[in-house]
Every structure is written in C-alpha cells, then in structure tokens.
Structure 1
Amino acid sequence: MNAATRFKLPPVVMPEQDPAERVHNVREVPLGFTPEMALQEAQRCLHCTNQPCVEGCPVGVRIPEFIQAIESGDELAGIGIIKGTNLLPAVCGRVCPQEDQCQKNCTVGKAHRDVGQAVQIGKLERFLADWERENHAAVIPQIPPSSGKRVAVIGSGPAGLTVAGDLIKLGHAVTVFEALHMPGGVLGYGIPEFRLPKEIVYQEVAYLAKLGVDFQYNTVIGKSITVDEVRKDYDAIFIGSGAGLPNFLHIPGESLLGVYSANEYLTRANLMHAYDENSDTPILRGKSVAVLGGGNVAMDSARTALRLGALKVMVIYRRSEEEMPARKEEYHHAIQEGVEFHFLQNPVEILGNREGWVTGLTVQKMQLGEPDASGRRRPLPIAGQTSNVPADVIVVGIGNNPNPLIPAALPGLQMNRHGGIITDEDTMETSVPGVFAGGDIVLGAATVILAMGQGRKAARAIHAWLTGTTEKAKD
C-alpha cells in the first residue's frame, strides 16, 4: 500500500460502552481494538524515515517498528519491540496523553492539520499489550549473572517500576518498597477502574516479579524503616514516592464535613473499592457533587461521583474550556456521561449548615486576561459578580505536591520551593551521592510516561554508579 493510499484512510473508531450503561458500573469504557481494527489502523502509518513519533515519546518506544509488526500479523514481535523500552505498555496505551507526545508529532496528523487524525499509537500499543496478556504470551528475558549489587526503589509507581525493570535486566538485585498494601502507586490509588483496570496494573507488576524484582508492601520508608537503614543495606537508592500531598484552595469552609481532597476521594473509591456497596470503606454518596479543578484528576473525580450514584455532578473551573488541561478524551467521556461544566467560575467560599455539613459554595465569575507563566490566559475576577451553587459533596481536585516524608528524613537532600527533589537533569542523581529520584517527587504531578522517562534515565545512571562505567542500560 503506497503512502497516498495510507494517508486517505480514516482513523478507526474504538468501540466503547454506552454512556447510559457505563455510569452504573466501573468496567473499562473503551473496549479495545479487534485484530481487524488494529490492522486497519496500523495501515495508516507512513513509516517515516525520520520517525518524529519516536522523538515525541519520553521513553523512546520504536513506534514504526511495532506498527509494522501489527501489519505483518506478528503480535509477539510487536510487543517485544515495545517492551524493549516500555515495561508498562498496557498502562501507557490507556492513560498516557499521546495527543501531546508521540501522536502530536505524527506526520499524518500534521499533514491533516489535526492531531485527531494522527495514527492512534496509544490504542495500537494497548492492542498489543492486551494481546500478550490474553494469550499468555509474555516472554521472560534472559537475566544476566548477579552483579552483587543491591538497589532500593522507594515507591512502586511508574518511575519506580521502570527503574526496577531496567536494573533487574542488568543483573542488579532490586527491592521495591511500597507504603500501600498494593502496587502501582498512583496507577492503583489515583486512576479509576473504568480508565485503568487494576488487574492490568497487577499483571504488569507480576511480570517484574517474574524477572526477579522483590516487592515489599506496607513499608513506609522514613517510618517502618529509616532512610539510614536503607542506605546501609543497599548500594544505591531510587526515590519515586510520588506527589501524594493534596493542594487546597485555602478558602472559608474548606474544613466542613463533605469536603474531600481528590486524593482521598479517589483512593477510597479505587484502591479501597468504595464504589462497591458491599465494601466496608465509607464514602459520602452525594446527590449533588461539585468538583473543583480542570485536570484529569478532576475528570476522574467527577466521573467517579456519577458511578457512586450522584444525580448531578458539576466541574467548576476558573478558566475556559480551551485552557482546561484535562485530556480531550476524558473531557469528551465526562460530557457524554452527563457531567456539567461551569467555566470561568472560581470558588471563593464553601457553605455549610449548623451541623457542619456542606450545603454548597460561592463562586466568583471570572474573565480571561493575558497569558501567565503556564501559557494559559490568566483568570481575573469580575467585580460584584458572585453566585451560590448548591452541593452536598465537594471534591477539591486542583493538583498535588510531592510527598514530603522521605525528603524530611534525608538531611542534605536539596529541594525546590514546591517541595520537589532537585536532581541532575541527565542522571537524576540527587545532592546525596548514590541517591537518585524521578517521577512526581521531582516533576510534581505529571504524566505516567514522563515519570517513566525519568526512571529510564535514572536506571542508566544507577547502573553506571554501581559498575563504575558510563554504560547505558540495555534495551
């Protein structure tokens, strides 16, 4: 098939659960490609010699090669190509913002002047990962002889899992310490089941365990075990403890009953199964829920509220639709499911009754001024224009800061003003020799694939540190 013919092929539409049905369950919304759909979408790839899509991938997945494998009907080769650089393809294929990374660079999308026309790289990655899982086709690579070196990885989120996978394949012993009772970090507690089924996360982790990675759960470094004890027992440390400290608005009424941080709300629903009426985990099932914020966490919270039985769910965001940072797909799904969006509204007070329960909030009408440091237009209040919005549950989803526990327990660790660990940009080494860091503890709340990219950098540098070489981690 020549390039002109490929270019004319339309994107394949992935089937989804009907919105009226899916708001009553937590099953995954997109249903995945069939082999026929995957082949049809793969045929849209132009196989560009300069491979701009690869340049847009933080972990450097060899995208045209795995797409070519789908075209050739060799799914096993395709998943092998992906796993050379990405050990979490089933996760990344579902939750990574490909529209801002690999697909943004796609020649097909650029030629159409519409990133929505780009080859759907993420959906093809998901197809191969699901094929591997459903066909029990995971290939365990040959692990080299032990180097005699031990590495401690603190946190089992995307960055930590990437470091663990890369280093175990280089012959180093790796122990991952996880504070929670289940693996995955934000993949487990932060992303809802309907976007990322937890069984997929656990199977990705099980693959690393088969490679030899040791996972220790219910272990809070800095509490259960001191950082000094870890430094004594291991030759290098990677800190990937994430951004689990929620931000608040610091407005009157924020301490009323019925106000949740998005972290707590989603953790109760996702990790502790509060969506199940038979669960022991308490959660307020409000009838009118207001979610504050405009990112993916706000979308997740709003859509979770619907599945918890809310009759009305509102997302209140101080900028306009154009400035909203949430993925377009998540915004689209939220609208389909009936979430209301109140743009250019800024909460200034949370209202309550005499018993201390939330009854609503006061919002200030905003207008957009000049762009700020983020590149988005700055929201400015319109004097005298406020209104009250009734609600019996409010979820604050305006972002998170890095987890402060480990930095506080490690003197000499340099931090930035936001509480993130300062690292060397190329090696991810901290100001403490032999201690490396990456992911949200460095970036602040960011994406899965950016965290994994930092994990790959750190793994190469840790290997060099352990061996006294400059050798890069092998794919």
Structure 2
Amino acid sequence: TSSLPEVCGRICPQERLCEGACVRGKKGSLPVPTGALEAFTTQYERSKQGVNIPVGKFTGKKVAIIGAGPAGLGCAEQLLRKGHAVTIFDSKPAPGGLLVYGIPNFKLAKEVFFCRWADFEKAGVKFVGSTTIGKDRTIDQLFEEGYAAVFVGVGVGIDAKMEVPGEDLAGVYEGTDFLVRANMDLNLLPEDKRQRPPIGKRVAVIGGGDTASDCLRSALRMGAEQVMCLYRRTEQEMPGGKKDRQMAKEEGAQYRFLTQPVKFIAGEDGRLAAIDCIEMKLGEPDATGRRKPVPVEGSNFSIAVDTAIKALGYWPDPLIGESTPGLEVHDWGLISVVDKETGATSRAGVFAGGDDVTGPDLVVTAMVAGRKAAAAIDRYLGW
C-alpha cells in the first residue's frame, strides 16, 4: 500500500498518523512501532531477495510525469503496474525532489532513496532531469510528443518571503538553499552552489515547521555554537512534528517563542550582524482557527547573529499554470482539481496531486495523491 515504504517508515510523523491512531496506544500501552517496522521489513526483503515493482503488460500508452518527488513516484509506481510507459521530468539533475534536495541525510540517507529509485529504473521508468516544464518544454509539447496523459506533481518549491528590510543581506539564507548546500553531495549541485554555506557561530532559524527543525539540526552539525529558533506563536501552535523538535532540543537548539523578526541588520562588512525583533502576544483566532500573533508595542529588541535561515513555508511555482492554456490555478498558483479523489484538472488529460494542489503537506499525503491519480489516469486511457 506504499510506493515508498523505506522512506515513509523513516520520515513520516507516525505519532500523528498510524501510531497516533493505534489502539494499543489509546489503551495506555506503547503503540505498535509502525514506522520502524515498515522501514525494517523493506530493508530485510531487499537484503534477502531484492525488491521489484511488478510491471503490467505494455498497453501502448505512455504517460509524462512532471516532478520526481513523492507524488510523481507514487503515480509512476502504480502506472507501471498497469502496463503504461512512464517518463518523469524534473527540474533537478537527480530524481527525488525534496527527498533528495530537501530532507537532510541524518533523517533520510540519500542511499535509502536511491536504492528505491533503482527499483523504478529496473521497472522501466525513464528520467529526464534538468528540464523545467513551462520553461524548457510545455505540457502542450508533451502531448505533441505522443504522451497520452500528464501528471503534475511538482510540489511547492519557492521559499516564502518575509518582506522585511535586510532580507537579501549576505548571511540570510532561504531554508531550501541552506539545506541543499549543507547536506547534498556537492557534485549534484550547480557549479555556483558547490560550497557549504559559511554560517559562523551564532545561527537563528525563523519558522516553526519541519523545515525549521531540519535547519536547526543541520546548523548544529556544521559547528554552530549557538542555534536558536525564533517563532511568532507559542510552541503549541508550531506546525512541525514534535519528534523532530524534541531531537533538535536534545542536540542543543534553543527556542524563543512569541518573537517576530522585523529587520535584518548589516555589520561593517556588509554581512548580517543582528536581527531586530519584537515580542508578540496571541490575539483572536484567524480564519484557520489559529490565534493571530499581535505585536507588543515597545517590546523591540535585537539578537546578535552571524547567520539567519528563513524556514517560513513554500509557495507554488507559477510556471506550469502560466504556460498551460485551460489549466486553472488558484491561491497564488496552486493547481485547481475538479475531483480531489482523481486529481483531474480543468485541462483534459492533465492530472495533478501533492503539494502543488494542497499546499505544503506530508510526504505520505503527496504519495497517496499520486497513487490515486494513477488509477484515474488508467481509467482515462481506457484500461
């Protein structure tokens, strides 16, 4: 029931999902360690007999998948089982999406993913990297090349901005750029990115999600002596997983809640030297039900830092929506689907799923969306 069992077994927040729903846990015992079992059984099977993706009898149809992350891979695995030929296009030179270019090695070793990727290659998946759909090619061109259907699973890859003074100073990093340069094999990066980011001794990470936890733990591993998370709400409102946050604390990360950066300050050398902040308090709930943080007048203060990392969430890339006539988008570029269960869009033959439809969510959620879309694509192709 999983296209990426060794991945999900290691990185999913099981305490919020399967283990959180476990009857044993609800009755006062420890829940069944589903994540550890999922990772172990896959590793055991691989060590004994190998892992194969069953491939159905070839239907004569080929499908283009845009995005080699969890949604695209979930879709590809199911389409292979149905006998369709699959080509995956991705803007990065290597497959994996955030599994390779976003999640640090200490959470998911790259070799774990690439072992699974080898199963896809063995099953016949073709990969076309360093190709941005909407720029290098369009969806219309993919149809002209003979693809009978297209699945879009590109995620949301643009880091959200703070829109405060000094945001572009040297020493202020986007979360994604920092994680990639801190954790990736530098040979897989463009030439201008093939060096670890200099971070100094004092690092501030701004945000409260899983990316923030990853940045905190990465900075500690890079030798920073003081690593602090700044978050504008309280810990109870943090969207990131408790397990990752607890590990960050155990490794030495500090947290300062109800704190909002308002300006990045440069030193004499032009690099970041401090962050001006203001204390916050929680006001009335907003439209999502979360209490809105409100500035406390006169509570401004500064924190001396060498590096700031913005881990504020992600926005969708508008390229595909802008380059595909008839494809409807909404909410800053998220792709609109006419049926959430199938991923069908307003454009015939184009399906979508994962974060580019829902906004940032879990790896397993994106993978499931891709699997559901594959079933719909199979029906669309008449099989």
| Fold similarity call, TM over 0.5 | yes
CA contact (8 A) 2:10 2:39 kept: yes
Q: Which residue in the other structure is 1:253 paired with?
A: 166
Task: Report how far residue 140 of structure 1 moved.
Answer: 4.6
Q: Are 1:215 and 2:120 matched, yes or no?
A: no
Distance, in Å, in 2 between the alignment partners of 1:181 and 1:270 is 16
Q: State which of 355, 360, 370 in structure 2 corresponds to 1:455.
A: 370
Distance, in Å, in 2 between the alignment partners of 1:196 and 1:342 is 27
SS at match of 1:103: coil
Q: Which residue in the other structure is 1:88 paired with?
A: 4
Task: Report how far residue 392 of structure 1 moved.
Answer: 1.0
Task: Report how far residue 356 of structure 1 moved.
Answer: 2.3
In the TM superposition, 1:168-179 aligns within 5 A as 168-179=80-91
Q: State which of 132, 142, 157 in structure 1 corresponds to 2:45.
A: 132
In the TM superposition, 1:319-330 aligns within 5 A as 319-330=233-244
Distance, in Å, in 2 between the alignment partners of 1:461 and 1:226 is 22
Task: Report how far residue 102 of structure 1 moved.
Answer: 1.8
Task: Report how far residue 430 of structure 1 moved.
Answer: 0.9
Task: Report how far residue 381 of structure 1 moved.
Answer: 1.6
Q: Which residue in the other structure is 1:101 paired with?
A: 17
Q: Deviations over 1:165-211 (max 9, x none)?
A: 00011010000112111110011111000000011111111111111
In the TM superposition, 1:413-432 aligns within 5 A as 413-423=327-337, 424-432=339-347
Distance, in Å, in 2 between the alignment partners of 1:358 and 1:285 is 10
Q: Deviations over 1:192-248 (max 9, x none)?
A: 000000111111111111111111222222233232211212000001111101101
Higher relative contact order (CA 8 A, sep 6+): 2
Task: Report how far residue 272 of structure 1 moved.
Answer: 4.2
CA contact (8 A) 1:240 1:441 kept: yes
Q: Which residue in the other structure is 1:383 paired with?
A: 297
Comparing 189-198 with 367-376, greater Cα deviation is found at 367-376
In the TM superposition, 1:351-430 aligns within 5 A as 351-423=265-337, 424-430=339-345
CA contact (8 A) 1:193 1:270 kept: yes
Distance, in Å, in 2 between the alignment partners of 1:149 and 1:339 is 51
SS at match of 2:103: coil
Q: Which residue in the other structure is 1:269 paired with?
A: 182
Distance, in Å, in 1 between the alignment partners of 2:128 and 2:149 is 17
Q: Which has the higher strand share?
A: 2
Q: State which of 60, 75, 78 in structure 2 corresponds to 1:163.
A: 75
CA contact (8 A) 2:181 2:194 kept: no
CA contact (8 A) 2:213 2:248 kept: yes
Amino acid at match of 2:322: A
Q: Which residue in the other structure is 2:190 paired with?
A: none
Amino acid at match of 1:133: R
- Which runs of 5 or more residues in structure 1 are unaligned? 1-84, 470-475
CA contact (8 A) 2:315 2:359 kept: yes
CA contact (8 A) 2:52 2:123 kept: no
SS at match of 1:313: strand
* Bigger Cα Rg: 1
Q: Deviations over 1:285-343 (max 9, x none)?
A: 32111000010000001111111111111100011111111111101110111001011
Q: Which residue in the other structure is 1:119 paired with?
A: 32
Provide the TM-score with structure 1 as the length reference. 0.76
Q: Which residue in the other structure is 1:31 paired with?
A: none
From the superposition, tell whether residues 394 and 440 of structure 1 become closer, same or farther in structure 2 (CA, over 3 Å). Answer: same
CA contact (8 A) 1:160 1:240 kept: yes
Distance, in Å, in 1 between the alignment partners of 2:47 and 2:56 is 28
Distance, in Å, in 1 between the alignment partners of 2:49 and 2:301 is 56
Amino acid at match of 2:357: V
Q: Are 1:144 and 2:56 matched, yes or no?
A: yes
Q: Deviations over 1:115-173 (max 9, x none)?
A: xx3222111111112222333532453x2221110100001000000100000110100
Q: State which of 338, 341, 352 in structure 2 corresponds to 1:437.
A: 352
In the TM superposition, 1:307-346 aligns within 5 A as 307-346=221-260
Distance, in Å, in 2 between the alignment partners of 1:460 and 1:395 is 40
- Which runs of 5 or more residues in structure 2 are unaligned? 188-192
CA contact (8 A) 1:87 1:162 kept: yes
Q: Give aligned pairs, total.
A: 376
Distance, in Å, in 1 between the alignment partners of 2:231 and 2:52 is 46
From the superposition, tell whether residues 245 and 293 of structure 1 become closer, same or farther in structure 2 (CA, over 3 Å). Answer: same
Distance, in Å, in 1 between the alignment partners of 2:138 and 2:343 is 22
Provide the TM-score with structure 2 as the length reference. 0.94
Q: State which of 281, 305, 326 in structure 1 corresponds to 2:219.
A: 305
Distance, in Å, in 2 between the alignment partners of 1:273 and 1:218 is 16
In the TM superposition, 1:223-234 aligns within 5 A as 223-233=135-145, 234=147
Distance, in Å, in 1 between the alignment partners of 2:288 and 2:34 is 27
CA contact (8 A) 1:272 1:281 kept: no
CA contact (8 A) 1:188 1:270 kept: no
Q: Which residue in the other structure is 2:93 paired with?
A: 181
